[in-house]
Structure 1
Amino acid sequence: MADKPLAGRTIAIMLANGFDEIEFTEPQKKLIEAGATTKVVSRANGLVNGWYEGSWGHFFPVDVDLTETLAVDYDGLVIPGGMRAVDKMAEDPHSQRVLKAFMRASMPVAVVGDAGKLLAQTETVKGRTVTSSDEVRAELEAAGASWEETKFVVEGALVTANGVEGVRDAMDAFVAVVAAYESEDAKAA
C-alpha cells in the first residue's frame, strides 16, 4: 500500500481539445503509478485532441462527459493547461460548475499552467497563494490571488503548477495531498 498511496482513489482529469499533452500525460502517469484510477472528463465527443510541440497531437479517449461529472464521484481533480483548451473550458458552464464544486468541498485540485485562468474565472482564488503560466498571472492577481514565481505552490488541497517545468514536482505534492485527504463520508463513518 505504501508504494500505491492512491489505491482505490479515482481522479478526474478535465480536458478540452487543445490541452497541453505533457501537462496531461505526466500527471496521469504519476497518478497511475501511485495506484489511482484516472478518468478523462470532457465535453469532447468520444476522443479529445491534445496539442504537442506547436501542432495537434494525439487523441485520448473520454471516459465521462463533463455534463455528467460530479465532484462527489471523485477523490480529486487535475486540470492541465494549454490555452486552446482552457479558453474552451472557460466558456463552458459545466467546467466551471465542476471546478467550483471541488473547491467548495476543499477537495484535492491540481491546476497546471494556463488552467489557472479557470480559477480566476470561477472566483475561487481570492486570498489564495498560487502559481501559473505567466500568461494568466494578471487574471489571477485581479481575482485576488497572491501569485508566486515558482514551479509549484501547495495551499491546503489546492496544488498549482507553472506549467511543464513544474508539473512533475507538483504532481508529487498532489499525490501526497490526495493520499492525506479524507472525504466527508469517510470522516463521518
Structure 2
Amino acid sequence: MPQNLQGKRVAILAADGVEQVELVDPRDAVRDAGAETKLLSLRTGEIQAMNQDVEKGDTFPVDSVVSDVSPADFDALILPGGTTNPDKLRLDSGAVQFVRDFFATGKPVGVICHGPWTLVEADVVRGRTLTSYPSIRTDIRNAGGNVVDEEVVTDKGLVSSRNPDDLPAFCAKIVEEFAEGKHPVHPEGATAP
C-alpha cells in the first residue's frame, strides 16, 4: 500500500555535480506519493547533473536558494550524492546551517552515496548509524557516526543508502519515513539515539 505524502513539502538540496539518478528517482518517488518538491541550491538558475561523475546529464531549475528558506518551510529533506555536489554544499555555510537546523527539527532526512559529506560538515552524524559510498565512511566514523554496509539504513528518521544500485530500497524507505514525520530530537540537534 503506497504511503500518502499529500500536503507534505520536501526539500531537495543539491548543487552542480549532483548524480542525476540520485536526484530524479527520490524526487519522483515522493512526488508519486503526493508530496510537493522544491530544489534548493547555492544560487539561482539551474544546476548541472552528472551521470556517474563523468558525463554531463540534464540541468535542473533551482526553485530557491538555500540561504533564503527555512527548515520550517519543509516536512522532509533529500540529499543526493555525486562526488562534487556534496563537496560544494559542505563548503557553503548557508547549506551547512540549513542541514544542521533541519536536523534540529526532528524532521526526516534521506541521504545517499556521497551525500553524508554534508552531514559530517554539519556535525549531525555523531551517535547515528548510517551507510554511504565506501570512500567517505572514514569521514563519517571520524565525525562520530557508526557506519554499516547495508542497502538502506534507517536511524530514527535518517534514511541512508550506499549508491544508485540501492535506489529502489532507498526510495521506498524515504516515502515511509517521510509519511511518519518528526522524530524525537536531542538537545544537540541530532535526532534521539
Task: Tell me, yes or no, whether TM beats 0.5.
Answer: yes
Q: Is the 8 A contact 1:26 1:167 kept in 2?
A: yes
SS in 1 for 2:114: helix
One-letter amino acid of the structure 2 residue matched with residue 104 of structure 1: A
Query: 1:71 is matched with which residue?
Result: 71
Q: Distance in 1 between matches of 2:145 and 2:183?
A: 26
Equivalent residue, structure 1, for 2:189: none
The aligned residue for residue 14 of structure 1 is 13
Q: C-alpha distance in 2, partners of 1:63/1:101?
A: 20
TM-score, with normalisation over the residues of structure 1?
A: 0.92
Are the equivalent residues in 1 in contact too, given 2:19–2:51 (CA < 8 A)? yes
Find the residue that maps to 2:115 and give its secondary structure: helix
Equivalent position of 1:140 in the other structure: 140
Specify the SS of the correspondent of 1:24. helix
Q: How does 1:1-189 map to 2 (within 5 A)?
A: 3=2, 5-53=4-52, 54-182=54-182
What percent of counterpart residues are identical?
Answer: 26
Q: Is the 8 A contact 2:40 2:63 kept in 1?
A: yes
How far residue 168 of structure 1 moved from its aligned partner, in angstroms, is: 2.1
Looking at structure 2, the residues matched to 154 and 178 of structure 1 have their Cα atoms a distance apart, in angstroms, of 12
**Size of the alignment, in residue pairs?**
183
- Which moves more between the two structures, 138-147 or 116-125? 116-125
Aligned to 1:187: none
Seen in structure 2, the aligned counterparts of structure 1 residues 85 and 180 have a Cα distance that, compared at 3 Å, is same
In structure 2, distance between residues paired with 1:45 and 1:127: 35
Distance in 2, Cα, partners of 1:101 & 1:66: 12
Q: Deviations over 1:108-139 (max 9, x none)?
A: 10111101111111111111110000111000
Encode CA deviations 1:57-112: one digit per residue, 9 max, x unaligned: 11111111111121000000001001111111010011111111111111110111
**Are the equivalent residues in 1 in contact too, given 2:90–2:121 (CA < 8 A)?**
yes
Answer whether contact 2:108 2:183 (CA < 8 A) is retained: no
Structure-2 separation of matches of 1:119 and 1:69: 18
CA RMSD, 1 decimal:
1.5
By how many angstroms is 1:182 displaced?
4.9
Give 3-state SS (helix, strand or coil) of 2:43's partner.
Answer: coil
Asked if the contact 2:45–2:62 (Cα under 8 Å) also holds between the matched residues in 1, the reply is yes
Q: Alignment partner of 1:114: what SS?
A: coil
